[in-house]
Chains A and B, each alone.
Chain A
Amino acid sequence: MGSWFARSRSIPYLLKRNISFLHANSSCKTLPPYKSPHGFRERPPASILSFRRLESAMVGKQAQAVAYTDDDGESQSIEFPGGRVGFTTQMEFISEATDKRVPCYRVLDDDGFPIAGTRFDQLDEETAVRMYKSMVSLQIMDTIFYEAQRQGRLSFYLTSTGEEAINIATAAALSPDDIILPQYREPGILLWRGFSIEEFASQCFGTKDGHGKGRQMPIHYGSKDLNFITVSSPIATQLPQAAGVAYSLKMDGKEACAVAFTGDGGTSEGDFHAAMNFAAVMEAPVLFICRNNGWAISTPVSEQFRSDGVVVKGQAYGIRSIRVDGNDALAVYSAIRAARMMVVREQKPVLVEALTYRVGHHSTSDDSTKYRSVKEIEQWKRSRNPMTRFRNWVQANGWWSDQEEAELRGTLRNQVLKAIQVAEKAEKPCLGDLFSDVYDKLPSNLQQQEKSLRQTITRHKQDFPPDVPL
């Protein structure tokens, strides 16, 4: 074990030279481990990142620090790889379920009034109004794009109806430097960060102006400038990537974190478990946010896992976690702000489970009334709507009015409709974009294939769509 410490002294010298330590601490001595008598390591503020990684890699050492006496008075313990563990002569199985489910952090009640005694991050008027307006934008964008798909103008669309609070409150609570690895139901974050309606439309219609150059299906947005990694269809593949992004941020010593989203269904994928484990072991600054909306297409959570939701899985990997009411914008905002602070300062992962409900269908390829009752959907839409709750709170503070609402909705509706009209008629990507960006430069086989395709098109012009620029 001593060799770990010896090696650790040389590491900061050899890491990237432009690491900016959050505290100017250029003397690379070994930090004394901070230990409280309860064995829970309190971390010094994020400074020499690599040290702490080494130190905390030794789980055994950590447990050894505790003078082992547990409540039953068993004063003996045995040592195994992984540390000291007390033993008991009573054969007891840990129950598969606790008596009470993990409670859910909430600020606003069903009608949008702050619950007595609740603690939350106070929002100023500007942020609150901006948040609400963004939620309305998201809702209107979703509604109209969905309709456009139904009219045959778009091939596919996926709404975030019912999850507007998660989308916008999370975006507002994070910093623009935080890198987002979305699942696919988080366009609100792009919206908050400045992606325009026109840009959304360009991607959905696959025009030449879209960031994706028409290569991905609708709603697979991506923007490097806004730190939003392009959506990839297979579920949960972004989770291990988040560990990598966080690793990169850790190496750079940046005051930012990776934020990875998944749904309840995504937590069944192997990638979820491996990513959580990796992030914990490597002490990577990842904020895992699980949008538990109750449904994975037609699979309800009762058929997805048997645990108490997703929040309890955090502890299994050594990750701090919290359960929050995902339909409560204030609760989400406060919880994400706190979680992000922990992630960045302590350089370790945190899991947030936001409970919510998927009001819309999974996508335009789904009709959810086939597997759930219309009554259930309506109930969530009307009486437990995240937007209504937040609006009530904002209006109660005197920051919003019905008239402003009507105006906003009118303006936005026109804006979205216009954006769709423009994108529909916009030029599609040129033929060359079929072959570019597969590699950094066009290799000979693709050059050949492009040449062959162009020859075919020239010979059979009538068989090819006339609106594809060559």
Chain B
Amino acid sequence: MAASFGVSSAAVQAVKSSASPLPSPPVIRSEARPISGRINRSRKAGKIATHAVAARTENPASAASKTGHEVLLFEALREGLEEEMERDPRVCIFGEDVGHYGGSYKVSKGLAEKYGDLRVLDTPIAENSFTGMAVGAAMTGLRPVVEGMNMGFLLLAFNQISDNCGMLHYTSGGQFTIPTVIRGPGGVGRQLGAEHSQRLESYFQSIPGIQMVACSTPYNAKGLMKAAIRSENPVVLFEHVLLYNLKERIPDEEYVVSLEEAEMVRPGKHVTILTYSRMRYHVMQAAKTLVNKGYDPEVIDIRSLKPFDLHTIGNSIKKTHKVLIVEECMRTGGIGASLTAAINENFNDYLDAPIVCLSSQDVPTPYAGTLEEVTVVQPPQIVTAVEQLCR
């Protein structure tokens, strides 16, 4: 029960590695909190538990708390939102149909009734506008959470996200902070058509000044939502259309998850598989097959898309010496492309084989179900890739 110790194992590893002359950069910020690994059973004023999740079993929440409660992922997001709105009266929500309708995926259901429709604001249809509005509100002291009905629509808000969210803190000389959270469902769904199947993390990853995280389980969804709201930086939280109904038992006590840390889903020693969001489940499905065939893959959900948690990733590579990246982005210019470059630059010496990256093709997502299925990476491909890597 690593969680009962005062220091998380990730922090311990970080301390060890910072003493060594190896070039891997330390994980930011999570190390700075010495007592953060402990679950706070008695919630003191202002103290919250931060789980550094480096050494975790597949079902982290049940190890942490036997009591807990079962939630679906969208309910976990809502819990996170509600707790933060309760805790800090400056938190507000903007988006289309977030108010009495409760959001298109019910993430803000019931919040307008509880907090009023000023704090949970239904906006007219103009993404650039309500994102700009969030920037203005953030500069004057509020903490807005902006919902894009679908991530793809936030392309209309690109200017506000890039030039204003990302840059105003810098260009104003640090005078104005923009603590916004921009969230919404993205990724390839079930026959939603090309415009509703965008992977915006590809386009946003270059914007200086923002952070990007992707949730994949109810546990990390709630934790990331809370952490994102508390962060002083603008954070883009990527949810996936197909993951909203995942069920998991999460702790009753309050917890926050680090924005810059990756999650160890399955420790192993033959190959490091890096993935995030929905592809995590395809990878785990492939992992079952691989285990039956005698392989021992280490699966890491990178969670933090900007910046990458090169500390956790690096430690894994030093152990396995082989990397497979499984992503839903398109081949060109996706998260996988950047991650490949970052790993090659930092851990080239530790690689026994070139990095393999499985991504979607550079095509708009087709509507036809059969075609859509083959545009995303499927478990058999992952199995084949591992077999080839480990030969």
Interface residues of A (CB under 8 A from B): 3, 7, 10-11, 14-17, 49-50, 53-54, 179, 181, 210-213, 215-216, 220, 222-224, 229-230, 232-234, 237-252, 258, 270-271, 274-275, 277-278, 281-282, 436-441, 443-445, 447-448
User: Contact at A222–B175, with CB atoms within 8 Å?
Assistant: yes
Among listed B165-173, B239-247, B286-294, interface-contacting one? B165-173
Contact residue among A15, A239, A440 (Cβ-Cβ distance under 8 Å from B119): A15
User: Contact at B209–A11, with CB atoms within 8 Å?
Assistant: no
User: Contact at B124–A278, with CB atoms within 8 Å?
Assistant: yes
CB-based nearest B residue for A213: B173
Q: What is the distance, in angstroms, from A34's C-beta to the closest C-beta of chain B?
A: 20
Q: What is the distance, in angstroms, from A202's C-beta to the closest C-beta of chain B?
A: 11
Given the interface pairs A241-B132, A270-B126, A270-B128, the reply to whether A11 lies near B172 with Cβ below 8 Å is no
Name which of A179, A277, A438 has the most chain B CB atoms within 10 A of its CB.
Answer: A438
List 12 additional A-B contacts (Cβ < 8 Å) besides A49-B118, A242-B136, A281-B123: A54-B117, A211-B175, A222-B172, A223-B175, A230-B175, A240-B126, A240-B129, A240-B131, A270-B128, A274-B126, A438-B209, A445-B307
User: Contact at B136–A258, with CB atoms within 8 Å?
Assistant: yes
User: Contact at B123–A278, with CB atoms within 8 Å?
Assistant: yes
User: Contact at B132–A244, with CB atoms within 8 Å?
Assistant: yes
User: Contact at A7–B116, with CB atoms within 8 Å?
Assistant: yes
User: Contact at A17–B129, with CB atoms within 8 Å?
Assistant: no
CB-based nearest B residue for A269: B128
Q: What is the distance, in angstroms, from A467's C-beta to the closest C-beta of chain B?
A: 20
In the docked arrangement, what's the CA distance between A248 and B144, Å? 10
Given the interface pairs A237-B164, A245-B137, A448-B25, the reply to whether A438 lies near B124 with Cβ below 8 Å is no
User: Contact at A241–B119, with CB atoms within 8 Å?
Assistant: no
User: Contact at B129–A441, with CB atoms within 8 Å?
Assistant: no
Q: What is the distance, in angstroms, from B134's C-beta to the closest C-beta of chain A?
A: 6
Contact residue among A213, A237, A244, A275 (Cβ-Cβ distance under 8 Å from B174): A213
Task: Provide 19 A-B residue pairs closer than 8 Å at the C-beta atoms, listed in order of the A residue.
Answer: A3-B100, A7-B113, A14-B114, A211-B172, A222-B175, A222-B176, A229-B136, A230-B172, A230-B176, A241-B160, A243-B136, A244-B136, A244-B140, A247-B142, A251-B92, A251-B118, A251-B119, A271-B129, A278-B133
User: Contact at B137–A232, with CB atoms within 8 Å?
Assistant: no
Chain A residues lying within 8 Å of B90, measured Cβ to Cβ, are 16
Chain B residues lying within 8 Å of A213, measured Cβ to Cβ, are 173-174
Chain A residues lying within 8 Å of B160, measured Cβ to Cβ, are 237, 240-241
In the docked arrangement, what's the CA distance between A437 and B29, Å? 16
CB-based nearest A residue for B138: A244
In the docked arrangement, what's the CA distance between A360 and B89, Å? 47
In the docked arrangement, what's the CA distance between A258 and B133, Å? 12
User: Contact at A10–B170, with CB atoms within 8 Å?
Assistant: no
Q: What is the distance, in angstroms, from A317's C-beta to the closest C-beta of chain B?
A: 10
Chain B residues lying within 8 Å of A247, measured Cβ to Cβ, are 121, 133, 136-137, 142
User: Contact at B175–A224, with CB atoms within 8 Å?
Assistant: yes
Chain B residues lying within 8 Å of A249, measured Cβ to Cβ, are 140
In the docked arrangement, what's the CA distance between A281 and B126, Å? 13
Q: What is the distance, in angstroms, from A244's C-beta to the closest C-beta of chain B?
A: 3
Q: What is the distance, in angstroms, from B203's C-beta to the closest C-beta of chain A?
A: 18
Interface residues of B (CB under 8 A from A): 25-29, 89-90, 92, 100, 112-119, 121, 123-124, 126, 128-142, 144, 159-160, 163-164, 167-177, 208-209, 211, 231-233, 260, 307, 310
Q: What is the distance, in angstroms, from A444's C-beta to the closest C-beta of chain B?
A: 4
User: Contact at B28–A441, with CB atoms within 8 Å?
Assistant: yes
Contact residue among B28, B92, B144 (Cβ-Cβ distance under 8 Å from A444): B28
Task: Give the tally of cross-chain contacts (CB within 8 A).
Answer: 192
Q: What is the distance, in angstroms, from A44's C-beta to the closest C-beta of chain B?
A: 18
User: Contact at A439–B129, with CB atoms within 8 Å?
Assistant: no
Name which of A17, A53, A238, A439 has the most chain B CB atoms within 10 A of its CB.
Answer: A439
Name which of A216, A222, A252, A437 has the most chain B CB atoms within 10 A of its CB.
Answer: A437
Q: What is the distance, in angstroms, from B28's C-beta to the closest C-beta of chain A?
A: 5
Chain B residues lying within 8 Å of A443, measured Cβ to Cβ, are 28-29, 260, 307
CB-based nearest A residue for B134: A244
User: Contact at A232–B129, with CB atoms within 8 Å?
Assistant: no
In the docked arrangement, what's the CA distance between A248 and B91, Å? 11
User: Contact at A241–B130, with CB atoms within 8 Å?
Assistant: no
User: Contact at B163–A241, with CB atoms within 8 Å?
Assistant: no
Q: What is the distance, in angstroms, from B233's C-beta to the closest C-beta of chain A?
A: 5
CB-based nearest A residue for B118: A50
Contact residue among B28, B116, B133, B208 (Cβ-Cβ distance under 8 Å from A243): B133
3 smallest beta-carbon distances between A and B, as pairs = A244-B136, A240-B132, A241-B136
Q: What is the distance, in angstroms, from B176's C-beta to the closest C-beta of chain A?
A: 6
CB-based nearest B residue for A448: B25
User: Contact at A248–B142, with CB atoms within 8 Å?
Assistant: yes
Q: What is the distance, in angstroms, from B307's C-beta to the closest C-beta of chain A?
A: 5
Q: What is the distance, in angstroms, from B204's C-beta to the closest C-beta of chain A?
A: 15
Given the interface pairs A237-B159, A250-B118, A441-B29, the reply to whether A215 lies near B133 with Cβ below 8 Å is no
User: Contact at A439–B142, with CB atoms within 8 Å?
Assistant: no
In the docked arrangement, what's the CA distance between A20 and B46, Å? 26
Given the interface pairs A7-B117, A11-B117, the reply to whether A234 lies near B159 with Cβ below 8 Å is yes
In the docked arrangement, what's the CA distance between A237 and B168, Å? 12
User: Contact at B139–A210, with CB atoms within 8 Å?
Assistant: no
